């Protein structure tokens, strides 16, 4: 730590620090959380949002309780312009403040003549965030202008926006890199913005290469020398974005930018799903409202669904595996002392403990799983389930990754049978026609015959593959009996060919991830025939959805 001692004035109070207290400033009481999923996060490869998607993501972020939502760059594309045009009527924010993003004026142009600044004013938000080059080399090489002009661009742009009554956040781009080479210039850019009335000076690690120990020193120096709020914006190229954010807050920053689920280009932005609970639960600093921390996991998964990217099970705090415990060795120890294996109570962030069952697992793991589900299985039944699991895993099933199918298997072992619908038969036809345009047109059609509530229903649907076609046909057949299925849909489908090494040829393992918008479950099918394997996984996926689908689904499931 360098740059400031304990004598520098600080906001806030110290919370439960036990050592090195003389070295660090007091921790702030609260930190503003600034989410940039809709702007920086949407730079991620494969992430593309419609205006409707953006409005729904913003709603979720507001529901979570972040302080600021950066909505996009109205001057840069028509989609973001439409977003800001529709937001006032269609977005009811109760906690968050919407922020429009842009850049400083161009070199040699008056602010009032600058397109980007004009768009920012037109976006009609209470606050804006503008980015300025804060590194000498980027000014001379990329901008090809003088350092004096760069300072003027920063100051005049902030002043112009302030004159229009806007709150201004100032992103100092490449700040940490620039500071290493020419600190005087990088700090000068901040001074120009501060003097012109910026509310927050945001130090950006644009290429994500910074390390926590240097961040601490640099941020502490800025906090000591500037009167306005200091914020940070880290990219994760060194895998340190969250750690850097924490280091910056310990050094006095009170505004943290990042993205829910760490979305962003390359390796992403600081993951707010980890930064928020780290700050709230570990450092005792107010971020989102305390009673909303338990919304973290559902919101993280809901947004993953909206942006159509499968959630990472190993994501800290909110991942499906974050509190999953495998193997029989320490399961009984977990039951006695959960905190020995869980760094925070899982429900504090809306997640839950999960016991993972595999062929490696002993009886005790399975018994915990059964208890977790609230099922009643005696020791004899438990023994039979263990045998069944072993046999199935030998055939290629992998229940460790298929929590949905495992649950159904355990429910069945307790005497339950699903009777939401009864399959009579299904058929899948795949066609490939080469048409006059020389393009191949593969088409898959599925027909499903089922009995539902005593009626025989036959439904046919097309799809771009067997799972898609079967899913559509099944939904057509039973959808009107179970309207809840409209909110349940498949998010991922994975196929793996397994060589069982038993001379019987390869078998196919199909895994399907399904969501109801709140939770994701995985189901499995294994067969020598890919369509049969797909059907098994699909059947479990739908049945699981119905078992957990509120009163109508649940009561039917539990009546027997």
Site for Zn ion in 444-473 (CB under 5 A): none
Looking at the Cβ atoms of 129 and 318, the one nearer to Zn ion is 129
Looking at the Cβ atoms of 240 and 520, the one nearer to Zn ion is 240
User: CB 459: neighbour CB atoms within 10 A?
Assistant: 18
CB of 211 to Zn ion, least distance (A): 18
Rounded alpha-carbon distances, angstroms, from residue 304 to 271, 273, 279, 299, 515? 13, 12, 22, 8, 11
Among 62, 83, 127, 79, CA closest to 101: 127
Rounded alpha-carbon distances, angstroms, from residue 265 to 107, 270, 308? 27, 11, 16
542 vs 477: CA distance, rounded Å: 12
CB of 235 to Zn ion, least distance (A): 6
CB of 234 to Zn ion, least distance (A): 8
CB of 517 to Zn ion, least distance (A): 29
Write the CB contacts of 173 (distance below 8 Å, at least 6 apart in sequence). 131, 132, 133, 134, 135, 138, 204, 206
Write the binding mask 31 to 50 for Zn ion: x where contact by CB under 5 A, - elsewhere: ---------x----------
Looking at the Cβ atoms of 40 and 471, the one nearer to Zn ion is 40
Looking at the Cβ atoms of 40 and 513, the one nearer to Zn ion is 40
Is-contact 489 500, C-beta < 8 A? Answer: no
CB of 186 to Zn ion, least distance (A): 17
Looking at the Cβ atoms of 40 and 305, the one nearer to Zn ion is 40
Looking at the Cβ atoms of 170 and 482, the one nearer to Zn ion is 170
CB of 173 to Zn ion, least distance (A): 8
215 vs 203: CA distance, rounded Å: 10
Looking at the Cβ atoms of 135 and 536, the one nearer to Zn ion is 135
Looking at the Cβ atoms of 268 and 404, the one nearer to Zn ion is 268
Name the residue whose CB lies closest to Zn ion. 40
Site size for Zn ion (CB under 5 A): 1
CB of 289 to Zn ion, least distance (A): 26
CB of 131 to Zn ion, least distance (A): 8
543 vs 532: CA distance, rounded Å: 16
508 vs 524: CA distance, rounded Å: 10
Determine the 3-state secondary structure of 122 from DSSP: helix
CB of 64 to Zn ion, least distance (A): 20
177 vs 174: CA distance, rounded Å: 5
Is-contact 74 129, C-beta < 8 A? Answer: no
Helix axis angle, 379-394 relative to 363-372, nearest 10°? Answer: 110
Q: Note the helical H segments in 373-462.
A: 379-394, 403-413
516: contact with Zn ion by CB under 5 A: no
Q: Output the CA torsion sign for 283, 288, 291, 293.
A: negative
DSSP 138: I
Looking at the Cβ atoms of 36 and 351, the one nearer to Zn ion is 36
* Cα first-last separation, the chain: 65
Q: Which residues bind Zn ion (CB under 5 A)?
A: 40
């Amino acid at each position: 730590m360098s740059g400031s001692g304990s004598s520098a004035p600080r906001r806030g109070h110290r919370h439960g620090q036990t050592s090195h207290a003389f070295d660090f400033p007091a921790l702030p009481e609260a930190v503003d959380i600034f989410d940039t999923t809709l702007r920086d996060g949407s730079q991620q490869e494969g992430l593309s949002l419609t205006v409707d998607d953006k409005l729904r993501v913003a709603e979720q972020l507001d529901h979570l309780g972040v302080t600021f939502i950066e909505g996009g760059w109205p001057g840069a594309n028509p989609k973001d312009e439409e977003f800001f045009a529709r937001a006032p009527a269609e977005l009811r924010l109760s906690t968050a403040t919407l922020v429009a993003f842009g850049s400083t004026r161009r070199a040699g142009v008056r602010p009032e003549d600058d397109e980007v600044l004009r768009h920012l004013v037109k976006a009609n938000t209470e606050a804006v965030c503008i980015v300025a080059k804060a590194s000498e080399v980027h000014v001379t090489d990329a901008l090809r202008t003088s350092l004096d002009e760069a300072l003027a661009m920063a100051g005049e742009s902030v002043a112009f926006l302030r004159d229009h009554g806007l709150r201004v956040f100032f992103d100092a781009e490449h700040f940490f890199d620039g500071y290493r080479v020419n600190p005087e210039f990088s700090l000068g850019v901040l001074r120009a913005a501060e003097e012109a009335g910026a509310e927050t000076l945001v130090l950006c690690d644009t290429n994500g290469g910074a390390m926590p120990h240097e961040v601490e020193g640099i941020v502490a120096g800025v906090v000591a020398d500037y009167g306005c709020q200091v914020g940070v914006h880290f990219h994760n190229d060194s895998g340190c974005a969250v750690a850097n954010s924490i280091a910056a807050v310990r050094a006095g920053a009170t505004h943290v930018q990042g993205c829910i689920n760490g979305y962003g280009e390359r390796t992403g932005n600081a993951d707010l799903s980890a930064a928020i609970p780290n700050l709230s639960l570990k450092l005792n600093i107010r971020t989102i409202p305390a009673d909303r921390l338990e919304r973290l996991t559902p919101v993280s998964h809901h947004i993953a669904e909206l942006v159509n990217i499968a959630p990472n099970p190993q994501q800290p705090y909110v991942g499906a595996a974050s509190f999953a415990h495998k193997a029989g060795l320490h399961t009984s120890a977990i039951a006695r002392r959960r905190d020995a294996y869980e760094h925070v109570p899982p429900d504090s962030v809306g997640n839950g403990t999960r016991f993972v069952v595999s062929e490696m697992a002993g009886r005790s793991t399975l018994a915990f799983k059964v208890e977790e589900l609230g099922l009643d299985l005696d020791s004899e039944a438990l023994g039979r389930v263990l045998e069944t699991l072993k046999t199935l895993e030998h055939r290629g099933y992998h229940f460790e990754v298929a929590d949905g199918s495992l649950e159904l298997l355990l429910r069945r072992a307790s005497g339950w049978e699903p009777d939401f619908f009864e399959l009579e038969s299904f058929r899948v036809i795949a066609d490939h026609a080469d048409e006059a345009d020389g393009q191949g047109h593969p088409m898959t059609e599925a027909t499903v015959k089922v009995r539902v509530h005593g009626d025989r229903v036959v439904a046919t649907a097309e799809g771009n593959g067997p799972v898609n076609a079967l899913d559509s046909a099944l939904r057509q057949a039973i959808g009107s009996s179970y309207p809840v299925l409209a909110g349940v849909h498949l998010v991922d489908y994975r196929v793996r060919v397994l060589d069982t090494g038993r001379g019987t040829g390869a078998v196919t393992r199909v895994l399907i991830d399904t969501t109801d918008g709140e939770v994701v479950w995985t189901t499995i099918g294994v067969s020598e025939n890919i369509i049969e394997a797909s059907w098994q996984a699909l059947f479990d996926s739908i049945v699981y959805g119905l078992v957990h689908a509120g009163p109508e689904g649940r009561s039917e499931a539990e009546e027997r």
